[in-house]
Structure 1
Amino acid sequence: MDRAPFARRSWLGGALAVIAAAALSAAGLTGTAQAADINVAKNAGFESGLSNWTCTASSGATVATPAHSGSAALKATPSGQDNAQCTQTVAVLPNSTYKLSSWVQGSYVYLGASGTGTTDVSTWTPGSSGWSQLSTSFKTGASTTSVTVYVHGWYGQPAYYADDFSVIGPDGGGGSDPGPTVPAAPGGLKAGSITKSSVDLSWNPSSGATGYQVYRDGARVQSATGASATVTGLSPDTSYQFQVTATNAAGESPRSGAVTARTSADTGGGTGGGSVPEHAVTGYWQNFNNGATVQKISDVPANYDIIAVAFADATTTSGAVSFTLDTSGLNGYTVDQFKADIKAKQAAGKSVIISIGGQNGTISVTDTTSANNFANSVYSLMQEYGFDGVDIDLENGINSTYMSQALKSLSAKAGSGLVITMAPQTIDMQSTSNGYFQTALNIKNILTVVNMQYYNSGSMLGCDGKVYSQGSVDFLTALACIQLEGGLDPSQVGLGVPASTRGAGSGYVSPSVINNALDCLTKGTGCGSFKPAKTYPGLRGAMTWSTNWDALSGNAWSNAVGPHVHALP
């Protein structure tokens, strides 16, 4: 699928590489804190505002949320000329080793120490939507009695957050903040979204807590760093009792009041597809602005049965994906609105799924570890946003063995309602020996539909061995025939086409051509020179790139193709 790439400046990558190398070099200085070591940083959790801290260009402030623990955290906002660096000078002993760490959140966050008297150190993270811990160590020089520790972001990037600093080592004469006390039990525990195998829990943060423990029916089942958790692996239609505790270095709090939640019932099996109708229209929704109409999920017309959110992003973990709503590019569309719109579409009988890949997608699933990472991360996105499933739109190759393994693992987690779609290019479905085709056949029992992209491909072979050019009824029908005769069920075959001439580089056909191809395959009418040996009345339907390009053309595509698909036999 086409989308405008986000170009990063080459010097930024070089700078990050240098900093990362410096951090790795500094790792050799790591020492082990002794029992008498203390945290020489003051106001390490920002509970006293910016006391003891100095931030460049008035870039720093304290906020109540998100806080890693306690009731406050640092929020610092870079600009084009300022990296929002916040510093503190700490008292140290000469010839001593200190371990520096902080919890951070945001894009391109750096942690480091300068003026050590030996080798100054720095480490960084490219960013995440949740809290992650940065750690490094430094050794002081023979006459060093103070060191400056710092955290900063990157020029022009969004605000970052930091909390729970620590500089652990010998007391340099400045002492330490008072030690922590056992936090109080969390209040406000409640259950949120519930599926047949999971329950979302949330609670009020406890002051001074650095983590939380979740209990199910009296047994501890998982840990959490923030004031929420999703308990998975539950049985359908079963009642569970949950409690949580708060923890820090001083110990664990009493358990919270209990909340009871019952998982939803398992409505039975099936061969994939969840609640997708017998004949369905799929449309890709753009999480970016490339000149097409900017939409909210709620703006997508009712003619679309499956809405594929494009796209998830690769992470630094092999095989894993993440998703960030492009709020600024989508005219201020918020995550809460996005989630609410997904629920509204589902209440109207539609499915909303997350698409993996696209023209610029570089997700690689090539071994068991990356397959597990893929399944776990996609399932996490389903839990977080309410997605019904996943679309595989990898245009740079696919490993059928491990992608099949990943999708089967995802199905085991999500259950029979999981929607799995695929959008291979025409070349990927020319033979059953191709990786995409093999993957589709490997997961046939859980596959919803393959919406092959009948565009940007030139001429291809049909199932009769003849060459057909894109942009014709024959191209659509003769290539669909390969899939239908190659082992896919008719309900797993859809025709993927651009919504307008601007939606793809080539291959646009008018809605009337698509409707003729659908009639040819399902009823034997409207065919061109190619006519299949039999009809396939169970054909799933059609797909388009994208709902946004469709909207720019007044929804001409969905207004014409949607009713036709829904009226198929």
Structure 2
Amino acid sequence: MARTLQQPSHRRRRSNVPTVLAAGTAALALAGSGLALFEGGASAAVGNLVANGGFETGSLSGWSCTGTASTVSSPTHSGSNALQATPGSSDTATCQQTVSVLPNTTYTLSGWVQGPYVYLGASGTGGTDPSVWSGQSGWNQLGTTFTTGAGVGSITVYVHGWYGQGAYSADDITLTGPAGTASPSPSTSAGSSSPTPSSSPSSSPSSSSPSSSPSSSPSSPPSGSPSSSPSPTGPTTPPSGGLPAHALTGYWQNFDNGATVQRLRDVQSAYDIIAVSFADATSTPGAIGFTLDPALATKLGGYTDADFKADIAAKHAAGKRVVVSVGGQNGTIVVNSTASANNFANSAYALIQSYGFDGVDIDLENGVDPVYMAQALHTLQSKVGSGFVLTVAPETIGMYSTSGAYFQLALNTKDILTVVNTQFYNSGGMNGCDGKVYNQGTVDFITGQICTHIQGGLRPDQVGIGVPASSKAAGGGYVNSTVVNNALDCLATGTNCGSFVPPAKWPTIRGAMTWSTNWDAANGNDFSANVGAHVHAMP
């Protein structure tokens, strides 16, 4: 976020990105995320419950497949055979089998795949059905861990591609865990009447150039596709912090850059989370400090620490949450060791105790270490307790693929993360989750990026839309409130979409964020009045 008038809060801009997701997009290797791109590993683990998971019978025995599917001798990951399947314009070429399992038991699913948009997952687990995906031309291993629900005696393991995309390959699919006692229904051979996608795309994907949008997309996900992300081992739902299901976040400026100056008490009532901008670095590595800007206090006719703390207490009384934002465009806090991680946690906790903050917001735009910052945040959360609020505001490029540092940080803190509000501005054009390039300032850009975030492993309730509150608040990418509301509708209900329609509906999408409450006030409170009302009306 920028501290000076009309300065972009992004220092980097990508405009000539590839027309397909980079290899890093599929790099799902993050400990504790429940989502992994494994390295090495045997083709079949002891306790594998998948029949013919390596397709070594030379047939599809044990599997029920739709569309064009067969075993091939090349390419293979190991052994003599592998699966190769080609989706059609109305078929995802799904191969699946029913496996007997035990209730309330943890299982690990993995498989080697290659090709565009290959999905591996399980359905009927009795909880959040896991699904992982990649889009690489070379062999890569996908994997996820999940726990079955009470009374579950069998699940369906599947692999599939995506509508109208090229052929994909799969090999060495394993489900590791104790076998169940149920007798699964026999699978039929390829070409049988096994379940097909719940609905077909309205038309086949467009073959337009990378700079254009697809003419249409599937209106709903195929059977077993990732309508929700896998759950990591351990707690999966962070404390709500007393927040509503759909929340509005706004940054309050502790400085004057030409926007409307505000005391914290003046922040519009629509904002559920207020991020105080910014905490700064101290002389101690990793540590942060916060001081009210004397120039702002002068312009406000006096504003003391006592006044500020009273304003935070008043916001709490109104049901709001106030976090201290770390960094901004000029922030240079470096957390890259255990010592600096501890310094960050201790200093942030001291600020929380002193001012009454509910947590922190991470907006470091000059680099972040996802390992040590995650360590610092977990330490801080353990000090604060269940009411801890953690928000993150990455630049768009930081969430462009799961290999990005910010995406890694989000996944590394998924167990305590409240919401990621990516800054969908100062970005140029970028690929959406369908591989098409969309330009900033459009519904398609927002929904295409959000789709990537959810398919990459974040829960919908941990993802929000970040936009500037006025054309003066950022260097580019401003959209009016109608565009934000349409994007929320598209993501939650599949309505009011642009040319891109996400492959699933995510009704628990968290909400929206803006830079800043001050620029919102300068723009006639358009964001808080219109987007705020829309967010709070979402079911």
TM-score w.r.t. the length of structure 2 is 0.56
Selected match of 1:406 from 376, 381, 395: 376
2:242 is aligned with 1:275: yes
Equivalent residue letter for 1:2: A
| d(CA) in 1 for partners of 2:242, 2:421 | 18
In the TM superposition, residue 433 of structure 1 has moved relative to its aligned partner by: 1.3
| Contact residue 356 and residue 394 of structure 1 kept, 8 A | yes
2:262 is aligned with 1:295: yes
| d(CA) in 1 for partners of 2:236, 2:468 | 34
Selected match of 1:564 from 527, 534, 537: 534
| Contact residue 271 and residue 447 of structure 1 kept, 8 A | yes
Rg comparison, structure with higher value: 1
In structure 1, the partner of 2:208 is: none
| d(CA) in 2 for partners of 1:343, 1:504 | 31
Equivalent residue letter for 2:254: N
| d(CA) in 2 for partners of 1:566, 1:528 | 23
Equivalent residue letter for 2:422: M
In structure 2, the partner of 1:320 is: 287
In the TM superposition, residue 397 of structure 1 has moved relative to its aligned partner by: 1.1
| Contact residue 431 and residue 437 of structure 1 kept, 8 A | yes
In structure 2, the partner of 1:502 is: 472
Three-state SS of the structure 1 residue aligned to 2:514 is strand
| Contact residue 269 and residue 416 of structure 1 kept, 8 A | no
- Residues 280 and 466 of structure 1: CA distance in aligned 2, closer, same or farther (over 3 Å): same
Three-state SS of the structure 1 residue aligned to 2:295 is coil
Trace 1:41-190 onto structure 2 (pairs within 5 A): none
In structure 2, the partner of 1:545 is: 515
In the TM superposition, residue 270 of structure 1 has moved relative to its aligned partner by: 5.3
| d(CA) in 2 for partners of 1:305, 1:506 | 26
In structure 1, the partner of 2:4 is: 4
Equivalent residue letter for 1:290: N
Trace 1:220-235 onto structure 2 (pairs within 5 A): none
In the TM superposition, residue 511 of structure 1 has moved relative to its aligned partner by: 0.3
2:333 is aligned with 1:366: no
Three-state SS of the structure 1 residue aligned to 2:334 is coil
Three-state SS of the structure 1 residue aligned to 2:438 is strand
Trace 1:219-258 onto structure 2 (pairs within 5 A): none
| Contact residue 371 and residue 403 of structure 1 kept, 8 A | yes
Three-state SS of the structure 2 residue aligned to 1:283 is strand
| d(CA) in 1 for partners of 2:240, 2:276 | 17
In structure 1, the partner of 2:29 is: none
| d(CA) in 2 for partners of 1:327, 1:526 | 45
In structure 2, the partner of 1:310 is: 277
In the TM superposition, residue 291 of structure 1 has moved relative to its aligned partner by: 0.4
List runs of 5+ in structure 1 lacking aligned partners.
6-267
| d(CA) in 2 for partners of 1:353, 1:470 | 28
In structure 1, the partner of 2:253 is: 286
Selected match of 1:452 from 392, 404, 422: 422
| d(CA) in 2 for partners of 1:384, 1:270 | 28
In structure 1, the partner of 2:386 is: 416
- Identity across matched positions, percent: 64
In structure 1, the partner of 2:156 is: none
In structure 2, the partner of 1:174 is: none
| Contact residue 345 and residue 376 of structure 2 kept, 8 A | yes
Runs (4+) of structure 1 exceeding 6 A deviation are none
**Cα displacement string for residues 132-172 of structure 1 (whole angstroms, at most 9, x for unaligned residues):** xxxxxxxxxxxxxxxxxxxxxxxxxxxxxxxxxxxxxxxxx
Equivalent residue letter for 1:513: V
| d(CA) in 1 for partners of 2:237, 2:353 | 22
Equivalent residue letter for 1:367: S
Three-state SS of the structure 2 residue aligned to 1:506 is coil
Q: Would you tell me which structure has more strand in proportion to its own residues?
A: 1
Three-state SS of the structure 1 residue aligned to 2:240 is coil
Equivalent residue letter for 1:493: V
- Residues 503 and 425 of structure 1: CA distance in aligned 2, closer, same or farther (over 3 Å): same
| d(CA) in 2 for partners of 1:363, 1:414 | 21
Equivalent residue letter for 1:470: Q
| d(CA) in 2 for partners of 1:434, 1:393 | 15
In structure 2, the partner of 1:396 is: 366
Three-state SS of the structure 2 residue aligned to 1:441 is helix
In structure 2, the partner of 1:228 is: none
Three-state SS of the structure 2 residue aligned to 1:522 is helix
In structure 1, the partner of 2:54 is: none
Three-state SS of the structure 2 residue aligned to 1:329 is helix
In structure 1, the partner of 2:406 is: 436
| Contact residue 455 and residue 498 of structure 1 kept, 8 A | yes
| d(CA) in 1 for partners of 2:356, 2:238 | 21
Three-state SS of the structure 1 residue aligned to 2:284 is coil
In the TM superposition, residue 340 of structure 1 has moved relative to its aligned partner by: 0.3
In the TM superposition, residue 405 of structure 1 has moved relative to its aligned partner by: 0.2
| d(CA) in 1 for partners of 2:429, 2:335 | 30
| Contact residue 327 and residue 334 of structure 1 kept, 8 A | no
- Residues 270 and 471 of structure 1: CA distance in aligned 2, closer, same or farther (over 3 Å): closer
In structure 2, the partner of 1:113 is: none
| d(CA) in 2 for partners of 1:445, 1:488 | 10
Equivalent residue letter for 2:337: D
Three-state SS of the structure 2 residue aligned to 1:281 is strand
| d(CA) in 2 for partners of 1:460, 1:377 | 37
In the TM superposition, residue 271 of structure 1 has moved relative to its aligned partner by: 1.3
| Contact residue 236 and residue 414 of structure 2 kept, 8 A | no
Equivalent residue letter for 1:280: A
In structure 2, the partner of 1:485 is: 455
**Cα displacement string for residues 395-416 of structure 1 (whole angstroms, at most 9, x for unaligned residues):** 1111111001000000110001
In structure 1, the partner of 2:495 is: 525
**Cα displacement string for residues 50-89 of structure 1 (whole angstroms, at most 9, x for unaligned residues):** xxxxxxxxxxxxxxxxxxxxxxxxxxxxxxxxxxxxxxxx
Equivalent residue letter for 2:331: G
Equivalent residue letter for 2:484: I
**Cα displacement string for residues 322-361 of structure 1 (whole angstroms, at most 9, x for unaligned residues):** 0001133232211111000000001110000000010000
List runs of 5+ in structure 2 lacking aligned partners.
6-234
In structure 2, the partner of 1:127 is: none
| d(CA) in 2 for partners of 1:327, 1:343 | 21
Equivalenced residues, count:
307
| Contact residue 521 and residue 537 of structure 1 kept, 8 A | yes
Pairwise CA RMSD: 1.3
| d(CA) in 1 for partners of 2:243, 2:410 | 18
| Contact residue 425 and residue 467 of structure 2 kept, 8 A | yes
In the TM superposition, residue 434 of structure 1 has moved relative to its aligned partner by: 1.1
Equivalent residue letter for 1:475: F
In the TM superposition, residue 4 of structure 1 has moved relative to its aligned partner by: 2.7
In structure 2, the partner of 1:215 is: none
| d(CA) in 1 for partners of 2:538, 2:372 | 36
In structure 2, the partner of 1:385 is: 355
Selected match of 1:472 from 442, 445, 458: 442
Higher RCO by CA contacts (8 Å cutoff, separation 6 or greater): 2
Selected match of 1:339 from 287, 291, 309: 309
| d(CA) in 1 for partners of 2:474, 2:419 | 21
| d(CA) in 1 for partners of 2:337, 2:396 | 26
| Contact residue 322 and residue 377 of structure 1 kept, 8 A | yes
| d(CA) in 2 for partners of 1:540, 1:274 | 14
